[in-house]
Amino acid sequence: MTRPLLDELDRRLIGALHLAPRATWDDIGGILSADAGTLKRRFDRLHEARMVRVIGQADWGMHSTAMPVHVFLDITGETPLAVLDRLRDLPHLQLLAQISGDYPLYAVVHAPSEAATSEAIDRMFSIPGVRRVNALPALSTLRRGITWDPQFLTGTERAALLELTGTQPEGTATATPPDRPLSESERAVVALLLRDGRASAASIARASDLATSTAHRVVRRVLDERWVKPRLEIVSEWLGFQTPFMLRLRVDPGETPEVMRRIDLLPQTRLAAHVASDLSVLATGLVADRSALARFIDGELARIPGITAVSVAVMLAEPRRYWLDRDRITGLGEFHAPTLLGPQ
């Protein structure tokens, strides 16, 4: 597949969709001073090239009663990529990566329950080539992937898009189910919005056999309740961000919440989690190159008090991120949407 050539308008459109994935082309055009029809054609071109896709980020309580587990795998007798390929077929894997450091493979397991989590991790031991499995349960998580910003827009444009969407801070993620069982129509709309975060009420009505007025009302409810939040996914390397990274931090007792809050404010950050480990803060992020990573560590990270030790790893390959397969050559692939929990 030929990599699309991006100009300034493409980049600004991508920056806008990061902040407002469901905004209309007219609204985005008004903020970017661009023609709405041109923006739609640009998006369609990037989508067809498998560079961008708007999916839905489900509230954790929609598909799980458990917190995620961050898993590091050591291997023997096999290459990391060969073992990584075998892991793809295991259930409940939200992320898969090859990383630098002592453990060459990293995965995030987010299963429907604690029992399913235990079973999923247990199955990892049976994969040929896996030598050791180090599972670190998340104790709390600040999710940043949905709000990571490539910084392609002016401050005025960013403010206008955030005002347009009424975006709220991500905050601490919890696996708390909705306070009432979802109706059949609500479950259908949630499932459709997970796969297409820009789906219109009319298209959802056709796909779910609902009246258009009903679909419009249910879509609004699903989004207002934040059961699903639209999320732009991209091939980061094609935008010039070549170095995804991971930090594992040892912090002074009692300093974890503030360290996580400070890391979460940094624009390079995609995720910050408190995990059950002596290196109790795990963070992932994305920068242009390794020199930028060095500046981030020696600059922004060094200014955060309470950190006593830092372990840094570079993600050498990331064939799945947020349930979505991807590679640097062919672009975005299959979306392994988490299965919604049954009626409670």
> In the prediction, which pLDDT does 342 show?
81
- Architecture in CATH for domain 179-226: Orthogonal Bundle (1.10)
**SS3 assignment, position 104:** coil
103-131 exposure pattern, b = at least 16 Cβ within 10 A, e = fewer: bbbbbbbbbbeeebbeebbebbeebebbe
Contact in structure between 179 and 329 (CB atoms under 8 Å): no
- Give the list of residues 6+ apart from residue 36 with CB closer than 8 angstroms, or none: 24, 25, 26, 28, 29
- Give the list of residues 6+ apart from residue 285 with CB closer than 8 angstroms, or none: 244, 245, 247, 266, 268, 269, 270, 296
Q: For residue 118, what is the enclosing H or E element?
A: helix 114-124
Return the closest-CA partner of residue 56 out of 206, 232, 208: 232
How far, in Å, are 16, 84, 230, 337 from residue 219 at the CA level? Answer: 22, 37, 12, 18
Instruction: Say how far apart CA 66 and CA 88 lie, in whole Å.
Output: 21
Q: How many CB atoms lie within 10 A of CB 255?
A: 18
Model confidence, pTM: 0.93
How far, in Å, are 2, 111, 160, 216 from residue 341 at the CA level? Answer: 39, 11, 36, 23
Q: For the chain, which residues make up each domain, given as ranges? A: 179-226
Contact in structure between 268 and 296 (CB atoms under 8 Å): yes
**Type of residue found at 30:** G
The radius of gyration of the chain's CA atoms, rounded to the nearest angstrom, is: 20
N residues, the chain: 344
Distance of CA 56 to the CA centre of its chain: 10
**SS3 assignment, position 285:** strand
How far, in Å, are 183, 242, 312, 326 from residue 322 at the CA level? Answer: 26, 18, 21, 10
Instruction: Say how far apart CA 325 and CA 49 lie, in whole Å.
Output: 15
Instruction: Say how far apart CA 163 and CA 316 lie, in whole Å.
Output: 37
Greatest alpha-carbon span in the chain:
59
Contact in structure between 186 and 194 (CB atoms under 8 Å): no
What are the strands, taking DSSP E only, across the chain? 52-58, 69-75, 93-99, 105-109, 130-143, 172-173, 228-234, 243-251, 269-275, 281-287, 307-321, 324-327, 331-335
Per-residue pLDDT in tens (0 to 9) along the chain, 344 residues: 567 789 999 999 999 999 999 999 999 999 999 999 999 999 999 999 999 999 999 999 999 999 999 999 999 999 999 999 999 999 999 999 999 999 999 999 999 999 999 999 999 999 999 999 999 999 998 866 677 889 999 999 999 998 888 766 566 777 778 888 899 999 999 999 999 999 999 999 999 999 999 999 999 999 999 999 999 999 999 999 999 999 999 999 899 999 999 998 898 999 999 999 999 999 999 999 999 999 999 999 999 999 999 999 999 999 999 999 998 888 999 999 999 998 75
> In the prediction, which pLDDT does 167 show?
60
Count Cα atoms within 13 angstroms, Cβ side, for 310. Answer: 19
Contact in structure between 199 and 193 (CB atoms under 8 Å): yes
